[in-house]
Structure 1
Amino acid sequence: MTMPVPQPPASAGFNARPLTDPVDPAEVRSFSAQMRAQSAATGTSASTGRTIFLAAFLSVFALGFLVVFVPAIVAVTGMLSSSGSPGLAVLPIVVVAAVIIGIGLLAWSSWRRRRVRRYRLHRFASLNGMSYVASIKEPPLPGMIFSLGSSRETTDVVRGTRPRFVEFGNYEYTTGSGKNRSTHHWGYVAVKLDVPLPNIVLDAIGNNSIFGSNLPASFQKSQRLSLDGDFDQYFQLYCPDGYEPDALYLFTPDIMARFIDHAAQLDVEIVDDWMFLYMPRAASTLDAQTWAWLFGTVGALMTKFDQWARWRDDRLRAAQADAETQARAAAQTGLTEAQHPDAVSAATLAGTAPALPFAPPAGTLAPPPGVALQGRRLKKSASWVAVLGVVMVIGVVALRIMMSF
């Protein structure tokens, strides 16, 4: 499975025709049957939360119809019949039948559109050297949005593996319960990097609301880093305390220009060896222009990832030097034990003599790939909107208590 470097539709490497071309109903049925067979074989379900909600709604409606509507129809029909208007007696039955047929048609149309959508995305992925997965429960990704709430699910996943792993998907999760239950929707692009990097967030100013950032997390202001040029007009950059020079190394002027030109409407998170692009709408869609934009963005950024692959965390140098010292001490201990009278004869019979492994002086080795503990995650702070909400709830409760006296 291959994936060309994303290009706009004018390039031969981008084929958006499956998103809009007419589909063969027989091929759609065959693809849907194949998906059901795969789901049965793996013990997973391709249905989404919307499908479950629709089924639950229809079940509740059917139960309500049997319990409430049928007796009401019988009563109204009897009243109209006794009033000498037999023609009007059938009117409630006609109205209810029309409602039921309308709901059935809407459910069938939604089911059919979902099947066609999945088939189109599957064909689009195949013709562009990628693969399609209908649904992934609890996606194991380290981004900030993937650990929140419950009922976490990614749908319409399109993946490529060359020149590196890239995943496009639509993600949703729920928070709260009862009347306060909310479903949150995100589109995202996940790109696998060569080495782990410090946790850095670019909060795009262009997609913020009047209440501030649309990201689901807030970060301590001490971690805010201002960069040169016009970058601050487009992004607010957060990096862990002490990693400001590392952020400047990663975000050189040419890379900052790439983000401004291609990703100014996307929130960006670098965490572990992943880079995530977040958007408040679907990323995996039937809109060819959205795919052209995302492919172009990933392609423009991907050419700069080789520079990021050379980054190393100097804080790991001391830890590496300590490990080398411990290894030398352990080797010395092994040599001393080998000089025990019982061990010397064995070494002589074997024709070998234990020796210390060579180790360059501490401080001369390059740090290994990785990030020190203090740079792996940003420090979060409470959102002022959340704090205001808590204050308002406390105020309402206090007012009710006061009024009860």
Structure 2
Amino acid sequence: MLRSIDYSGLIYPVAPHDVSEFRATRRDHFGYSQLRLTAKVVIVVIVVTIFAMVAGGPLLAVFGSALRSAFMDGAVLAALPILLFALAFVAIAGGAVVAGVRAWRRNGGPWQRFYRMNKFADDNDLSFVPLDTTISYPGLIFNEGGNRSIRNRFRSRAGRTLDYGNYSYTTGSGKNRQTHNWGFMALELDRALPHMVLDARSNNQLFGVSNLPKSFARDQVLKLEGDFNSHFTLYSPRQYERDALYVFTPDLMALLIDHAAVYDVEVVDTWLLVYSPKEFDLVDPAQHRRLLGIADTVGAKTLRQSRNYADERIGDFSVNLVAPQGQRLKSGASIAAVAMIGIVLTFWAVPFLFRLFS
């Protein structure tokens, strides 16, 4: 894991020439082709044009009507302010578009961000790609929906796998189509561990409903000592409570509270996975500092704590596996779904009871 981090690539000014050269050499094999970027720019231009037609069309129509009335009445001088106002409107709108395009080109568009992130990756023995669809993690967010992709992906080039970026997938179709965006980090462990999930309370939704895409049976909740339960809800498979306590010692729990209390954490197979319901800003040095700090504290402690773990149900340390009953948590009913059913039943039952006893 990384110890000394060079953040200069994310901090120091960038020369436009360097961005242009970087773009010319990387655009065809960077996983983010020029065609894709051009398509996005075209979409933005189309949206702006439609907005201008919708918003500006009626205004120009009013100008045209006023000008026609003025000329028909012979009041040419009276029409002059209207004409000047219309010309000013067109000039301002056109100038705004030109200024926006120039600013986009001056700042290198997304390529300046790519340049900065790639420079940071090169300086710290990481690889960087802006867009990747190669995803093979077993975590609970990685098997949902379709159109899965990772944006702004950083991976270790050698040694133990460290991988982080922004992951997205889509669910539904048509009007019900929805894109789900997550920030994630994956750290490879040495030993396979029972499936355990730490659902952070700080990022839950209204009424404490979990933000995670799956719900787990409540009889798998494991209460730990101290104030850990006020920060996380820990799920572990039934009959694996002692195994969970073997991994989540008081000192590891303290590191989780100090460094990862705003994130959900999952341990599955040989992976430690960290999830954020908000995307990471990976041009921000502070975001990298926080993620790499989690890897160097929580990750390193989890590695040390689980180094000698073996599932006693298998009984052979040389077999790096967990018995089937501990490999995955059992699903449960969503609290939100249960609450919705309760509300529907209540609205149905109240009128029925009223008619019954009236």
How does the TM-score come out when normalised to structure 2? Answer: 0.80
Query: Matches of residues 26-37 of structure 1 in structure 2 within 5 Å?
Result: 26-37=17-28
Offset at residue 371 of structure 1 (A): 1.8
Aligned to 2:28, what secondary structure does the other structure show?
helix
Aligned counterparts of 1:385 and 1:106: Cα–Cα separation in 2 = 44
Moved more, 72-81 or 269-278: 72-81
Contact 1:243 1:375 in 2 (8 A): yes
Residue equivalent to 1:313: 311
Q: Deviations over 1:126-173 (max 9, x none)?
A: 111211111112633222222223332211111114551101201223
Distance 1:49 1:383, change over 3 A: farther
Distance 1:222 1:396, change over 3 A: closer
Counterpart code for 1:115: W
Distance 1:314 1:140, change over 3 A: same
Counterpart code for 1:227: L
2:10 aligned with 1:19, yes or no? yes
Distance 1:72 1:284, change over 3 A: closer
Offset at residue 366 of structure 1 (A): 4.0
2:355 aligned with 1:368, yes or no? no
Aligned counterparts of 2:58 and 2:255: Cα–Cα separation in 1 = 66
Aligned counterparts of 1:164 and 1:396: Cα–Cα separation in 2 = 55
- Select the residue among 42, 54, 59 that pairs with 1:55: 42
Residue equivalent to 1:89: 83
2:254 aligned with 1:263, yes or no? no
Aligned counterparts of 2:345 and 2:95: Cα–Cα separation in 1 = 48
Aligned to 1:217, what secondary structure does the other structure show?
coil
Moved more, 280-289 or 46-55: 46-55
Distance 1:220 1:205, change over 3 A: same
Residue equivalent to 1:98: 92
Offset at residue 253 of structure 1 (A): 2.5
Counterpart code for 1:316: I
Distance 1:61 1:253, change over 3 A: closer
Contact 2:63 2:82 in 1 (8 A): no
Contact 2:10 2:285 in 1 (8 A): yes
Aligned to 1:144, what secondary structure does the other structure show?
coil
Aligned counterparts of 1:182 and 1:139: Cα–Cα separation in 2 = 20
Instruction: Return 5+ residue gaps in structure 1 as ranges.
Output: 8-12, 318-364, 398-405
Query: Matches of residues 121-200 of structure 1 in structure 2 within 5 Å?
Result: 121-137=117-133, 139-200=135-196
Aligned counterparts of 2:123 and 2:331: Cα–Cα separation in 1 = 42
Aligned counterparts of 2:185 and 2:93: Cα–Cα separation in 1 = 41
Contact 2:161 2:188 in 1 (8 A): yes
Offset at residue 95 of structure 1 (A): 2.3
RMSD value, Cα: 3.4
Residue equivalent to 2:114: 118
2:285 aligned with 1:288, yes or no? yes
Aligned counterparts of 2:143 and 2:326: Cα–Cα separation in 1 = 19
Matched positions, count: 337
Counterpart code for 2:207: F
Q: Deviations over 1:340-385 (max 9, x none)?
A: xxxxxxxxxxxxxxxxxxxxxxxxx546111222222212223222
Aligned counterparts of 1:183 and 1:101: Cα–Cα separation in 2 = 34
Aligned counterparts of 1:225 and 1:30: Cα–Cα separation in 2 = 54
Contact 2:27 2:34 in 1 (8 A): no
Instruction: Return 5+ residue gaps in structure 2 as ranges.
Output: 71-75, 349-358
Aligned counterparts of 2:164 and 2:326: Cα–Cα separation in 1 = 27
Q: Deviations over 1:20-45 (max 9, x none)?
A: 21001111111122221214xxxx43
Aligned counterparts of 2:219 and 2:36: Cα–Cα separation in 1 = 39
Aligned counterparts of 2:110 and 2:344: Cα–Cα separation in 1 = 40
Offset at residue 211 of structure 1 (A): 2.9
Offset at residue 277 of structure 1 (A): 1.0
Query: Matches of residues 270-285 of structure 1 in structure 2 within 5 Å?
Result: 270-285=267-282
